[in-house]
Structure 1
């Protein structure tokens, strides 16, 4: 990796939690230079503007989360175990998620709708990837005849994301993990009552 690539990656890795905690619009160039200990010239030598850096930082955060989720899924064998790994992932990693400002997809989605519209497509693509990951687990369960053949896997995957993100939002707002547990309990109920083959 070239020195310029190393510098670019260092800036992204250093500013990703900064953007996630303080927001994409509220994070200033002064915040970025203070966090990285680099000059404005070094920042703008690697990124055209703050928006380009913010998008790269979001993509990095989303990829880190997605990679960790996929590792949890791939650590188990059966479709049911994989689905359970998805359900418990955010609760198991809640302390780390909270420390870095919450779910980067949720945070960016809220901001992309208001102050950082340039992020909208990248955020949408990240949610689509997450939904597709869950849907592929559900499809495998249907194929294995573990899950109901009548299951709408894409719609169910989207529902999982909605419930998980709702749990993350309330857990962060109220500073209480009980809302994540409520989300998990609801998803476990859906698995037992709607997903598993009768």
Structure 2
């Protein structure tokens, strides 16, 4: 009789990483936009995933039609579901994801957790600014790029104030020298600091 582990080993590379990513997020991802950007970052870390997903610049940054197809298959298989705009593991999906997670290497777990823990904390404008600045080639067709970049200093300072990013990453997102960013931060009552764990550095 085929066990759950046998079934899980037969799924595709993309499906494996999708379920692992949602599992690392506590079984629920903030929304489709966040999910797409997290999978994009994951594909940058793992060649086997990048080979399957061809991301290209689209209205809100990196988009993969193949990823959408895999998501639809997992929904139809009863493993994931959209609930209040969130992407969530079903009970069946959770069991599969637990088995997949236990089979991942230490690096796969660490990278996946780092991406999820960072990006799930970002708000809409923070997520897009981070993506557009760290991967400018993916912002070429964005319909909101200009409005986001016009507010880049404000958004970067907000992220710094909430201790989501390091000083160096905040300066990069704001497109100003660190010394200038420190001055602006102090004027706003923000205490500059350094945070470990920026995935973009």
TM-score (norm 2): 0.27
Structure that is richer in helix per residue: 1
Structure that is richer in strand per residue: 2
